[in-house]
Amino acid sequence: MPYHFPLFVDLNGKKIVVVGGGTIARRRIDSLLPFGCRLVVIAPKLAGAPEGFTWLARPYASGDLEGAFLAVAATDDRSVNRRVGEEAKALGIPVSVADRKEECTFYFPALCEGGGVLAGVVSQGSGHHRTAQAAKAIRRTLEELE
């Protein structure tokens, strides 16, 4: 399988929808917040105290992605994640589906920042441990630039 092309985009002011409130969703939320997006989280429950984004404390519903620039499906319910992915694709919205790499139109990267440099690290949709190792090494290198 070929790699996905790394593309850095301006998220400032853009609507990003994260569906899910568990550990993976919370990591995605925390990663997105520093980029100035208008983050909307849709989940009946949310890990951690919500701040800096809009939390819709309810299940996902059809139409929730309207006007979104980017979508993330990170629930513990396969059918919900599939629905989010399908709706996003139908609307032409890039989507990351946490539990099915083949349903993603982009992979969420491990972010590495330091010395005024930002790097994103992904694998081909598997090998998360190897990606984490690479990100750790890159972070060490970037820290040396400061």
- In this prediction, residue 5 has a pLDDT band, given cuts at 50, 70 and 90, of confident
Q: What is the pLDDT of residues 40-78, one digit of tens each?
A: 999 999 988 778 999 999 999 999 999 999 999 999 999
- In this prediction, residue 123 has a pLDDT band, given cuts at 50, 70 and 90, of confident
In this prediction, residue 1 carries a pLDDT of 65
Answer for the pair 73, 89: CB distance below 8 angstroms, yes or no.
no
Matching residue, tokens 């990003």: 16
Q: What is the pLDDT of residues 24-35, one digit of tens each?
A: 999 999 999 999
Distance CA 54, CA 27 (A): 16
Matching residue, tokens 């040396």: 144
Closest CA to 96 of 77, 111, 81, 116: 81
In this prediction, residue 50 carries a pLDDT of 72
| Chain mean pLDDT for the chain | 92
